[in-house]
């Protein structure tokens, strides 16, 4: 299977400024992500950044980085620019690996790429894993997804979907046969769709939920959802997350 990995790495971050450059056991965080992506079997791995200092740190470690425009509205738009820079053909599969996931499982990257390859009618593939916790289902920071019988996404939401009416009404645990899935924020695209995405008008539901994948659904594009056991470990969104990840790598070293 042939696929590329692009890691968007934007300098600005309201919680953790210069987040891709934060040190994790002697290496910048984005380099830790790069190393995980290399183990996925990708044909190429590239960091796409808007800041020269990030590119310089990636290059200093012997890895690939390209400069992209600063005005991209999303990581998807940034990846589309990279696909144009390298001239990848329309059928090429490109996986978006977030630059703040230094513990991402290489098997998950490969799994999402394979899912898109196996679903020729899908423009995007992503991943999910079963969710059984009542509190997590209610957490708006946890994105949920509902699929049809063929495994294509029907909707993504920060709300608890599907809504377990009887369980919530009686403050009971989720039914054992309930099918709730937590969305994992990793995406595989065909280059042809990346070229199209930038032309799509933002959708109202995308803006309300603050979930860019809803733009594709709104415009009628299919998203295939892999159900995986390779649930990702902690990403780095807060100072607490950073401490946890640093402790993990300190334990390995």
Checking if the pLDDT of 143 tops 80, the result is: yes
- CB-based burial, 222-246: b 16+ in 10 Å, e otherwise: bbbbbebebebebbbeeeeebeebb
Cα dist from 71 to 12, 31, 68, 233, whole Å: 12, 23, 9, 30
pLDDT at site 182: 94
Per-residue pLDDT band for 71 (boundaries 50, 70, 90) equals confident
Q: Which residue has the higher pLDDT, 243 or 189?
A: 189
4-9 and 93-96: which strand pairing?
Answer: parallel
Task: In whole angstroms, give the CA distance from residue 138 to residue 110.
Answer: 30
**Whether the Cβ atoms of residue 185 and residue 8 lie closer than 8 Å to each other:** no
Q: Above pLDDT 90, what percent of the chain?
A: 65
Radius of gyration (C-alpha) of the chain in whole angstroms: 18
Tens of pLDDT, residue by residue over 212-242, are: 899 999 999 999 999 998 777 767 888 888 8
Q: Mean pLDDT for the chain?
A: 91
Phi and psi (nearest 5°) for 8?
-70, 135
Write the pLDDT tens digit of every residue in 73-91. Answer: 788 889 999 999 999 999 9
> What's the pLDDT score for residue 14?
60
Residues in the chain, total: 253
Beta strands in 41-123, from DSSP E residues, in sequence order: 44-49, 65-67, 93-96
Please tell me whether residue 83 adopts helix, strand or coil conformation.
helix
Span 186-207, average pLDDT: 93
Model pLDDT, residue 204: 95
pLDDT tens digit string along 10-37?
887 667 788 898 999 999 999 999 999 9
| The pLDDT value given to residue 166 | 81
Q: Answer whether residue 175 shows pLDDT above 80.
A: no
> Which H helix or E strand runs over 185?
strand 181-190
Strand partners, 188: 95, 125
Is it the case that residue 144 has pLDDT exceeding 60? yes
Structure confidence at residue 10 (pLDDT): 84
List phi, psi (to 5°) of 56: -65, -40
For residue 253, pLDDT beyond 70: no
């Amino acid at each position: 299977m042939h696929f590329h990995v692009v890691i968007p790495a934007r300098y600005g971050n309201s919680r953790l400024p210069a987040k891709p450059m934060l040190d994790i056991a002697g290496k910048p965080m984005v380099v830790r992500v790069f190393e995980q992506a290399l183990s996925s079997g990708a044909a190429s791995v590239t960091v796409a950044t808007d800041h020269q200092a990030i590119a310089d740190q990636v290059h200093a470690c012997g890895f690939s980085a390209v400069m992209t425009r600063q005005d991209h509205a999303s990581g998807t738009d940034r990846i589309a620019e990279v696909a144009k820079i390298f001239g990848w053909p329309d059928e090429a599969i490109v996986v978006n690996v977030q630059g703040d996931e230094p513990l991402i499982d290489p098997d998950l990257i490969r799994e999402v790429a394979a899912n898109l390859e196996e679903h020729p009618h899908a423009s995007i593939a992503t991943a999910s894993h079963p969710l059984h916790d009542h509190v997590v289902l209610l957490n708006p920071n946890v994105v949920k997804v509902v699929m049809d019988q063929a495994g294509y996404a029907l909707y993504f939401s920060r709300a608890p979907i599907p809504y377990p009416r009887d369980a919530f009404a009686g403050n009971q645990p989720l039914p054992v046969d309930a099918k709730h899935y937590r969305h994992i924020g990793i995406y595989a695209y065909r280059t042809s769709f990346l070229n199209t995405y930038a032309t799509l008008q933002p959708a109202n539901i995308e803006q309300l939920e603050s979930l860019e994948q809803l733009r594709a659904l709104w415009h009628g594009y299919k998203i295939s959802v892999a159900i995986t056991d390779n649930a990702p470990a902690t990403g780095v969104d807060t100072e607490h997350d950073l401490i946890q990840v640093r402790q993990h790598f300190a334990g390995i070293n």
